[in-house]
Amino acid sequence: MSLKLPINIHNIKGFLAAREGEALYHLAAEASSLGPSLEVGSYCGKSTIYLASACKLTDRVLFAVDHHRGSEEHQPGEEYHDPDLFDKNTQLMDSFRTFRENIRAAHLENWVVPIVAPSAVAARCWNTPLGLVFIDGGHSLEAAMTDYRSWSRHIVPGGYLAIHDIFPDPADGGQAPYEIYKMALASAQFELVEMVDTLGILRRI
């Protein structure tokens, strides 16, 4: 399947490598026969555009969960802080306006359902079975564990769990995504399909 993106993805702020984005696109297209997709951690919409472009092919929707206040590393004084996303009026990081602009520019508003809330709050009353869950939220152990426990249980048999920023070697990056990746495999509910750079793709058994 050829990749069909409605916008120049390289102009979108984000930390997703092109190979990882393409893998998500193909994964969402495959998972669409099983149910809607959901991502945790949208930031400015780079992964959202990859996923929603594939969902559009079968008229499925992507639920995009993010409080849009940034993770720990996005805060002032931290390594990945972006002053352009800092709201001086509220003195808070806010990526939602940029996210909406990018989704609108990509003509994907009819296939993206933004859920502007912390992951645990959004999941509190969630009952919709999901064909794909992509976890790329906060990288503290507590945040990653919350995302995994909140959403993995909603994946249908045969559906997919994708986890970003998996670094087995601590020298390469934070360990929280790697910890939930190991937890998923140890649960015997998921099996590894493939690794694409730092993106782990698992299937629910």
Q: Which two tokens stand for residue 63?
A: 């639920």
- Catalytic sites, residue numbers: 139
CB count, 10 Å around CB of 150? 22
Q: Which two tokens stand for residue 159?
A: 């559906």
- What is the torsion angle, in degrees rounded to the nearest 10, for the CA atoms of residue 173, residue 116, residue 68 and residue 7? 90
Q: Is beta strand 86-87 parallel, antiparallel or unpaired with respect to 92-93?
A: antiparallel
CB count, 10 Å around CB of 170? 9
